[in-house]
Amino acid sequence: MVIAVGNDRQFAAFARGLGVPDLPGDPRFATNPDRVANVDALSDVVTPLLAAHPASTWFDVLSPLGVPCGPVNDLAGAFEFAETLDLDARVNVGEGDDAVTVVANPISLSTTPAQYLRRPPGLGEHTAELRDWLTP
């Protein structure tokens, strides 16, 4: 799992979620520069706590506290996770026998949504054209 604690508020929430709410009061971990300077000591404290439960448990605990975190997935897991968030992670591009399913752009913009104008080329599909273009 990846956890991105980038400020003091997130660190306090992270510590509460881990069950060590007094951790931000430790002078070694009071500010982000302190935590960076003492990363090994911090790791010695939080790693055993995190190892006590699976990543899915920590996601369920830390996310509602506003701590950015998430699982590190293989492709199948990434698509499953996207479904739990009601994200459309796949899009069909092309038509008929040429249609393929590809990974959707993860960024959604209301006035300029992603467009999928062409399917990716097949292996070697444009080799001759590229060679002609590259050869004077």
pLDDT of 28 reads 97
pTM for the whole structure: 0.65
24 three-state secondary structure: helix
CA-wise closest residue to 9 among 48, 67, 60, 87: 67
pLDDT of 71 reads 83
pLDDT of 61 reads 97
pLDDT of 95 reads 87
pLDDT of 88 reads 87
- List where CATH 3.30.1540.10 sits in the chain: 2-70
What DSSP element (H or E) covers 92? Answer: strand 90-93
The CATH H-level superfamily of 2-70 is formyl-coa transferase, domain 3 (3.30.1540.10)
pLDDT in tens, 59-81: 999 999 999 998 898 989 989 98
Compute mean pLDDT per 10 residues along the chain, 136 residues long, and list them.
95 98 97 97 98 95 96 90 89 89 89 90 93 92
